[in-house]
Structure formats: structure tokens, C-alpha cells
Amino acid sequence: MSSRVLCFVSLLLCIFPAIAFALHLPLTLTHFDANDPSRDPYQILSYLASSSLARAHHLKNPQITATATSDATTTTPLFSHSYGGYSISLSFGTPPQILPFVMDTSSDFVWFPCTHRYVCKNCSFSPSSDQNVTIPSFIPKLSSSSRLVGCRNPKCSWVHHTNKTQCDECRNSLTPQNCTQACPPYFLLYGPGTTAGVALSETLNLGDRTVSNFLVGCSIFSSRQPAGIAGFGRGLPSLPTQLKLHKFSYCLISHRFDDSPSSSTLILDSTSDMDRKTNGLIYTPFIKNPIVRGKEAFQVYYYVGLRKITVGGRRVKVPRKFLSPGKNGNGGTIVDSGSTFTFMAREIFEPLAVEFVKQVKNYSRARDVEVLTGLRPCFDVKDMGKPVELPELRLHFKGGAEIALPLENYFAVVGEGVACLTVVTDGDVGGGKAVVGHSGPAIVLGSFQMQNYYVEYDLGNQRLGLKPQLCI
């Protein structure tokens, strides 16, 4: 694949000759075609469980990016999608070109599909289809503000997370200050997905405001990435850092609105009132990120202090070492908008599942559905005329914050009345043998568990705010 990437890059190179604000953007979910014969609820759950597990594997075992050789508040719609992500629309270029981006709080780079030659393999929105789809791309030739990032530009090191980029032309030049070599191509991994391209300096248009010299990736090849990605994690190239945000917040609409016109709101806020608390929110502090050589991606995540988990009021026996990240980067809890179902290390998941099975007396196990979906435990809850009753799942955080999840946030009802716990662990999906391992975060809180919650990332005060709220 590297030769193909280099080929695209060589074609791409021929194409080119700090504000304060708050932005409100729509945040949306992607819906399987109701007329699609492959729309099987068990298959969909299995797909989401598999993708959540693959995502957890990537987050726990990240690979380093490789090279081929004024006070205001702004909002934007946030849409939900059937592949598990939430997307926003951003406008780049002069004149503006509008493209969808998946919001990802566990990565720190912003990139879009780019040029007429953009290729995306296995990018169908349907997990059962091998057909490629047409994805809107940014066309640099149509923007007067598009510039390739040079090798000597400090932002080149942001892309590659190193100060030692492969700038041979600049290093060997007698006049390096006049070097015109472009920043080397990037190659990024997102669990099962990949993307590759070159770095651009472009204008980001936010309502009536413009942000010049915004670092963005021009991807010309991708695999299993059905849209560009807006990295909201901790890091120099992330959208919050480049926009100097003090906080951002969102409310994730239910996945039952996948791919519909329904949306909630993403708020980007750079107001200077640092100590201001949002009414109704409970806060828990961000935990210091582990610094591990070779696992620099851990520094991008948002770690929170999960103290304990209770099921039906009973404390789940979780080994303490899994609740806080150690010096080796193992353990701890992160919040990840890019994961659908929550991942838990097996040492946490097993006592959790046992506690549910122990407390659920009024429903029988649906083991056949567990095999089909890769989720467990599943219970046969069909009993016409009676509401489903299952034990409460409550998360307790440092600082006294705790959330009692609504039942629909941790059990999915499928088929003819079968409810499955929407938490995954290593080796479970489809009866497979995949093992995520003990490295990295022990718990990845996914978006399914955060549905209909208002979530605020208070970057100025290093804390996460939460409150239940109907998002639509």
C-alpha cells in the first residue's frame, strides 16, 4: 500500500503552485437502509461490537504516525451514524467547501478526503456490503488559500509528533533557510481504518469568522474511514488546541436517530470566564495522562477517575490497579466519542457480567443471541404488557460525580424481545479469539453509554462535566 500512497502523493504535489470565539455546530448520527435485506438486528449489533473492540485495541495499542519516506460561542449540528460515530460539518477553503467530519475525542488531527483522485476502500456505510461509496472531497485547486505545509514549518512536527521529520532536501541544502521541500506524507491508523495524505495550511470558516493557516490533512487514500475526522483530543494539531478553546461540549442524540435529519448541538467555547460552571453539571477532574515512550497517543486521551461501578446498588469487585493509569500506561478510564460500545478489560467485565446474571432472576439467558451478536449477557425479556426491569448500572467518579445510566444506555433490545448488555471485552465478539491485552486504558467509555447526556470538556479547569438531558 505504501507504493500506492507515494503514487497518490506525487500526483497531489503537482496540484499546488488566534481568535476568541464560541461556535455552535449540529452534531449528527448513519442509518442502515430500511429496505436493505441485510438489515438484520443481530448482525448490526455484532458489527458494532466488533468495531468497538477493534477501536479499543487501537486505543490500547496505538502505533506512532508513520511517514512514507473575541469572546463568543458558536454551535454546530451534531449528527449520529450507524457506523457508531457522530459527525459535524466544517467549512474549509476560499471560497468555502463544506464537508462532514467524524468527531473523535481520542485523536488530535483534522483531515478531510482530498482531490478528485481520492480513493476510499471498504468505506460502505453498511457492514454487510463490500461496495465502495462516493465520498465528498475537498478540491485544493478550487481554493485560493490552500498551501502545502513546508518541511521547515513547525506544524510539520505536529503532524508526525516528532521534531525529526525526514527533510533530506532541507538538511543537505547549502541554504536550508530557503528550502522548499514539503512536509513528508502522513499515514494514520484508526483501529481497522487507515488514511494517508499530505499536510495543508488552509482557511477554516466558522460562521462569519475565519481562521487562517489552520493545519489540516489532505488525505488521498483511506480504508474503512467513511468520512474525514476532526480530532478533538489533547494535542497541538487538534481542533480545540488550534482554536484555543477553553471548553467544548455536546449532547449525543440517541442512536435510534442514526442517519436521520435529527441532530443535537456541539458547542465550541473560548470565553474567558475560566471559573464559570455550567448550571446542573456535576464535575470530575481529568486525570494526568501517562507518559510512555512509544505510546505517545496516550497523552491525547481524556482520562477520568472512575472510582467504582455498582450494579443494582452492589459494588462490582474491580482490581484497584485497573482503575488508575500506572507509569507503564496500563489501566485507567478514558472517554471516547469514537467508540460505540464501552470496552472493559476482562478483569473488570467478568465480575460485572456475573453481577448482572446473579441479580436477574425474572428473565432467562438468551445464549443463542449471545453467539450471534458477540454481546453478553443477553436475556429473553419478551413479556407483553410488562416493562423491562433490569438492575441499575451506576458509575462513580472522583470528585463525587456519579451517573446512573438509563436502561437504554447499557442494554439494547433486539429481535423479538432480547436485551443484551452493550459492553465488550477482549475475545468475546462472534466467539473469536481476539485479545486486546492489558496495555493502555482498562475502560473506554463509548458513545452508546453517553446517549442523552450533556458532556462538557472544561479544558481551562481540566475537568469533565456531565448531566442527563434529552438531546432532541
Q: Can you tell me the distance from the alpha carbon of 339 to that of 252, in angstroms, rounded to the nearest whole number?
A: 13
Q: Is residue 184 reached through a cis peptide bond, with omega within 30 degrees of 0 on the bond before it?
A: no
Q: Work out the end-to-end distance of the chain between its first and last CA atoms, rounded to an integer number of angstroms.
A: 43
Nearest one of 99, 185, 110, 106 to 148, comparing CA atoms: 185
**Residue 400 C-beta-side C-alpha neighbours within 13 Å:** 2
H or E segment to which residue 123 belongs:
none
Amino acid identity at 295? K
Nearest one of 248, 246, 251 to 231, comparing CA atoms: 248
Catalytic residue positions, numbered: 104, 336
Q: Can you tell me the distance from the alpha carbon of 32 to that of 416, in angstroms, rounded to the nearest whole number?
A: 19
Q: Tell me the Ramachandran region of residue 208: left when phi exceeds 0, alpha when psi lies from -120 to 50, beta otherwise.
A: alpha
Burial of residue 108 (CB within 10 Å: 0-12, 13-18, 19+) is: buried
The x, y and z cell numbers of residue 219, run together, are 488525505
The x, y and z cell numbers of residue 134, run together, are 462516493
CA distances in angstroms from 238 to 96, 135, 136, 215, listed in the order given: 21, 23, 22, 9
8-state DSSP, 126: S
Q: Cell match 480545540: residue?
A: 240
